[in-house]
Structure 1
């Protein structure tokens, strides 16, 4: 009986510890994250923020994505850094799917336009955690991953 009580107590502690890391509690400053991706990651091209009207032309952004911050290059490269905030995790999953489709379309376009960029698109980072989605296309994937992990722990 004592062993059963000790086991149950340990199970309760473990369950409570894992709930502390609940993704719903994650809060990210998408502007800061996108800026850090733009400034702390190395790109061949000069990437700069695009305005909100342009974002809808670049991505198919589902309804319920409340904030989108996108840095893009000149078009001479496929490089970009984008961060999206959705109203809930389900919408963020839709945004991740949209981001993956965006990368696929970019890959198809660059394959005939500038084939050297395809390798960047093949290793593009598209991560979703909780209500947030991060996208980064660069050769410097190691630093990009560190920046993203710093925000989406």
Structure 2
């Protein structure tokens, strides 16, 4: 079992983000990702100040089918952010085109940074320890 809040916090502390990331409320996470609350057992989202597209989102779905729907919501969020940043901060677009996105069992882990390999390593270590 993956602890969603622990995973998101670990990424916020161990990845070298350019911007400072702040946790948002569960309500804000639902709005940002346009989630169906019935699909989500737990969630933790960190967003940047807006100076970068950096973001962390970790979700526990109620089942694998719900995880697939959450993955689609995450991809939609990335596409919307890419469109928003294209004119505003075009240097951020590559991060959004190739974010870290990992779905395992009922969990969806999404991270926008310049450090996908470091994120992958951190997630693998956390999963191995659980």
Q: Which residue of 1 aligns with 2:20?
A: 46
Q: In structure 1, which of residues 71, 90, 94 is the aligned counterpart of residue 46 of structure 2? A: 71
Q: Which runs of 5+ in 1 are unaligned?
A: 1-26
1:2-151 equivalent positions in 2, closer than 5 A? 27-62=1-36, 63-151=38-126
TM-score relative to the length of structure 2: 0.92
Runs of 4+ in 1 over 3 A off after TM superposition: none
Which of these two proteins has the greater Rg computed from alpha carbons?
1
2:58 partner SS = strand
Measured in 2, the distance between the counterparts of 1:108 and 1:136 equals: 17
Q: CA deviation at 1:112?
A: 1.0
Q: Cα deviation per residue 1:93-151 (whole Å; 9 max; x = unaligned)?
A: 11011101110111011001110100111120111110100000000111111112224
Task: Tell me how many residue pairs correspond in the alignment.
Answer: 127
Q: Which runs of 5+ in 2 are unaligned?
A: none
